[in-house]
Amino acid sequence: MTASNMSQFVAEDPGRFLSQIKAVEDNDDLFEHLYVDHDERMDSVAGLRRRRRRAANTSDDVILAASLVEENGVLRWYDGVPAREEAPQRRRRARRAGGPPPLPDQTVVLTREFPRLKPNKAAAAIGAIDMRLNSAIDASLRSHIRQLHGGPTSFVIAPADVHGPFNGRTLLFVHGTFSNAVNMIGEFEATADGQAFLDAALNGPEKYDRVLVFEHATLAVSPVLNALELGRAFADASGQIDVIAHSRGGLIVRWWLEAFGRSLAATTRVVFAGSPLHGTSLAAPDKLQHALSLISNIGTFAEKTLQLAGGANPFLWVAGKLVEVVMTVTGTLANTPLLDGLVALIPGLFGQSMIENNYELNLLRLGPCTTQPAYFVVQSNFETEDPGWQFWKNFRALRAGDLAADQIFPGDNDLVVDTASMTDLGATGFPLAIQGVENFGNSSEVWHCNYFRQPRTIAFIRTSFP
């Protein structure tokens, strides 16, 4: 990208840039039955503003507001409606007052006003987000095994026409947070190498007996519970099971094979791509406000660099909805002690939080293990000097002792997961080891959402599953 910062990107193509966020604002009925006073429907943002003015005269303001602001090429979420002053006015006011330096130049990308959720409905709202992200799950948030068909260039995911106990050779895909089977398979379909791999798995001389995908909720359900369902689906399976797990999907697979796999009679091999095997700093409670901002930046980056839009790129949309939940519970986006409790209300995030008292992860990392899978890892550390995408620097400590304003990651990462976590299985003496690593090193091209578009990744999967 040649743009000098995010502002220029917004100016160049505002319609495409805002498409997903605007869709939330203009057609937002996801939480309608969960809002306070939801029977009094507001048919427009103007209606919300009138209601907010009325509520301002009472002790219970049921209308909240948050703004997405671009500052020097970085998107940040703030609670409330920012002042509409132009930058020169801010500078003159700061000089006259003799106060601190003026704020960076700002562009208000979007201001959202929304009703407060009903008391005790935050968990239901998280479940509603999951259902919107993945149409294959329903209000029960129950996981599903589905099946891949087709080839050589067109593929279809359908309800499985086979059921366990599985035998023979099985290939299984497990997607990550905010994702679903269609999005994950779509990353393979995006390149000729990926299509050839899928076609060989389905139709080649050494084809698998079945190619399956595991659909699951990623926010309202912890990786442990996802794994419990996966273990039930593969109870008493035999033969060979090869697994490709992306991101949080890797934790699900670890829980399944290491904790719930006792009935497995199959040999298992797993390729983890960008998986938070020791958690991710992005899910730490004290980083939540900054994490929402980073997620929005990632959404913009994915839209521009991977041409992902709509349901294939949920980051911008999810960030806006999580802002609603955060502000309902805490009343603000600022760091407060309530954030610890809030993250616990999002089990899918808390289960992969890289914090000392993540007891789920701590127990997983102690062992023992019910099976002995062969583990392989694909990892990267994303860095770019492209001036249009310098946002990554704001969320990382680049030097020892560096405290960036919005720091999330203490070091190397692929924009979502700490690189060191991708190969960190457990404490000293853990009974399993990584068998092979495809390490892209410091890369300006390979990041969390495009591992499966890399020819090296496809080649590595092939060699890991001979």
Rounded to an integer, the average pLDDT of 381-400 is 86
The pLDDT value given to residue 83? 61
CB 81 within 8 A of CB 67: yes
The pLDDT value given to residue 244? 98
Tell me 102's DSSP state: P
The pLDDT value given to residue 405? 67
The pLDDT value given to residue 42? 45
Q: Any alpha helices (H) in 239-378, and if so which ranges? A: 249-259, 288-305, 315-330, 338-344, 347-350, 359-364
The residue that leads in pLDDT, 61 or 84, is 61
Candidate from 55-69, 166-180, 230-244 with smallest mean pLDDT:
55-69
The pLDDT tens digits for 289-307 are: 889 999 999 988 888 888 8
Rounded to an integer, the average pLDDT of 93-105 is 43
Look over the chain and give the mean of its residue pLDDT values, rounded to a whole number. Answer: 84
Rounded to an integer, the average pLDDT of 267-277 is 98
Residue 205 CB burial class (10 angstroms; 0-12, 13-18, ≥19): exposed
Checking DSSP bridges between strand 265-273 and strand 106-115, what pairing results, if any? unpaired
Is the pLDDT confidence value at 421 over 90? yes
CA distance to 71, 106, 119, 385, 388, per residue, from 2 (Å): 18, 20, 47, 11, 6
Q: Tokens at residue 416, please?
A: 């979502």
**Residues 378, 167, 228, CA angle at the centre, nearest 5°?**
60
The pLDDT tens digits for 185-210 are: 999 999 999 999 999 999 999 999 99
The residue that leads in pLDDT, 175 or 24, is 175
Provide the pLDDT confidence category of residue 107 given band limits of 50, 70 and 90. Answer: confident
Is the pLDDT confidence value at 2 over 50? no
The pLDDT value given to residue 278? 97
Is the pLDDT confidence value at 40 over 70? no
Q: Which range scores top for mean pLDDT: 88-92, 176-180, 286-290?
A: 176-180
Provide the pLDDT confidence category of residue 90 given band limits of 50, 70 and 90. Answer: very low
Map out the domains of the chain as residue ranges: 6-117+285-330, 127-281+354-464
- CATH no. for 127-281+354-464: 3.40.50.1820
Is the pLDDT confidence value at 100 over 70? no
